[in-house]
Amino acid sequence: MIKGNATATTKDNAQKMEAAVRDLLKFDVYVGIPEEKAPRRGSGEISNAQLMYIHTHGSPVRNIPARPVIEPAIEAEDNKAAITDELEAAARLALSGNAAEAVKHLRLAGQTGASAARDWFDDQRNNWPPNAVATVRAKLSKKFKSKKKLDEAMDSYLAGATEMNQVLVDTAQMRKAITYVVAGEKK
């Protein structure tokens, strides 16, 4: 047994932690399609950001059902967990005084969210309603110029060929436009 006087020193890091939290709260991570980076090739009328809004909320006037992308992709359990892991890592690093590494994890959270949203187009959990038969016919008529080939493709679709009914993906411009922004980050 060792006897003696033991002294302990504690350091009050409360101010440092408060400053780290204040610094971290200056940042916001956004996933989506920034309007200024959303032009579509071949369309001077509508942007990818505007299309995303229309498809997220639907358009009763155009008989377009709602097919949300960003929010449900981020909220899907596995995606949410991966994003949360990055945000927690950012918080831990900020509290330890490593702001630069914290911002890297905020970027990783954004990348993870954007990737989840791009993948949502092919994710069975999206539960999107299929395209209307008229929409499938219009898509196929662009691909097949002969009536015979078009009719064969439609017959195949009506028999259950799902690859001809990919929802919201013709050119993939809108999907590719999904990105993230860390607001408050100094470039």
Domain boundaries defined on the chain? 14-128+178-183, 130-166
Q: Which carries the bigger pLDDT value, residue 134 or residue 85?
A: 85
| pLDDT at position 53 | 93
Mean per-residue pLDDT for 83-109? 92
Contact 121, 69 (CB under 8 A): yes
Neighbouring C-alpha atoms within 13 Å toward the C-beta of 169: 16
Q: What is the pLDDT of residue 83?
A: 98
CA distance 94 to 26: 12
CA 64 to CA 143: how far, in whole Å?
22
Span 98-139, pLDDT tens digits: 888 999 999 999 999 999 999 999 898 998 888 777 877 777
- pLDDT for residue 6: 56
Structure-model confidence comparison of residues 41 and 34, the more confident one: 34
The predicted model scores a pTM of: 0.78
Which pLDDT score is estimated for 12?
A: 61
Question: pLDDT band at 164, cuts 50/70/90?
Answer: low
Asked if pLDDT for residue 47 goes beyond 90, the answer is no
Q: Do residues 173 and 37 touch, judged by C-beta distance below 8 A?
A: no
Would you call 146 helix, strand, or coil by DSSP? coil
Q: 90, 36 in Cβ contact below 8 A?
A: no
Q: Residues 62-75: what's their mean pLDDT? A: 94
The number of residues in the chain equals 187
Averaged pLDDT, 43-70:
89
pLDDT over 90 at 39, yes or no: no
Q: What is the mean pLDDT of residues 34-43?
A: 74
- pLDDT attached to residue 150: 79
CA neighbor of 185 nearest in space, from 130, 121, 103, 120: 103
SS3 state of residue 40: strand
Question: Mean pLDDT: which of 35-44, 113-122, 151-160 is highest?
Answer: 113-122
